[in-house]
Amino acid sequence: MNSVIGFWGVPTATIDWCERNYEVTHYIAEFFNTLSSLCMVSAGIFGIYKHSKGFEPRFSICFASIIVVGIGSILFHGTLLFSLQLFDEVPMMFCVLMLCYSVFENQKEKRFGKWLPIGLTIWGLLITTIMILSGKDHNDRMMQMIEFYVFQGTFVVMAGCVYLHTLYIVFNPNVEKGVRKLWFLGSVVFLIGYIGWHIDLHFCSRMHQLPFDVPNPQLHAWWHFTASYGSYLICVLVTYNGSKVLGKNPSLRWILNILPYIELPESNLLNEKSAIYGNEKSEKVINYGTIINNIGQDIRKDGEKHVNDITNSTNARSTK
């Protein structure tokens, strides 16, 4: 680990990346890794903005999880504290678990019922517990390695499951050509970033001794950019497939030929609004019916009381 101690004190994270600590400012441990994490926040916000109307809530949750990962990454790289490292790693794990749920439960009728989300949640909580227990002693190198590789292993396995399912989507003969372009672009960008992630992790000393005094290229920061873009593309692909299975006739659109998003026909949005309006109208009719019924009962009770009063008065006069 780097020996420089800044505003946040001695690093307690189980891993310290290749960027030199507090080199740019006394208040941010890894400046470039922290700054590049904003890419994740931006990707998630754009995804929610483009895919909130007419789409199932689970797809918005997938995009929202990218935002949470980005915020956690800012906290982690900005401080290098273990407690905030968990805010980076745990959201990453639950983000990929949410994607797993979306790709496996992608039919009109739920195939696995409530057991799939329950099982994925229990699995995520179990791995989180192992990470917390093994990583809390940051002075024990063995426990650090256990925490790091338990997280990495779980993340890679679950991400692999999602990726294998995307192969099934893109090699469907009826799929749009643009969907295959989306998958290929995301795969290449993600792979390049992942290679850079490994170089930054395993060849750090060489990154600081490049020829011609070339500065450290900050490959982990570039990984944040490629991971943000790749994660966004995967979420778009999963959203497209899920919406198509549900019969919403999605179309793939591109901004400047590099930023895709899904568009639904106006009829879907109108049907959704009609359904909402219809429910509200039904509720209003029911409420009006209840009010009228209550008024009728009150009138009937008042009438009965008035008749009784007249009868009692007549009887009293007859007695006299």
Please enumerate, by residue number, every residue annotated as part of a binding site for Zn(2+). Answer: 77, 220, 224
Q: Are the beta carbons of 33 and 224 closer than 8 angstroms? A: yes
* Contact (Cβ atoms closer than 8 angstroms) between residue 40 and residue 227: yes
CA distance 258 to 247: 26
Residues 6+ apart with CB under 8 A from 98: 58, 61, 62, 65
- Residue 5, classed as helix, strand or coil, is coil
Q: DSSP state, 255? A: E
Question: What residues form the annotated binding site?
Answer: 16-17, 19, 21, 30, 77, 220, 224
Show the DSSP H helices in the chain as ranges: 31-36, 38-50, 57-79, 82-104, 115-135, 141-170, 177-202, 204-207, 219-245, 266-319
Closest among 16, 31, 161 to 103, alpha carbons compared: 161
Binding residues for Ca(2+): 16-17, 19, 21, 30
CA atoms within 13 A on the CB side of 228: 27
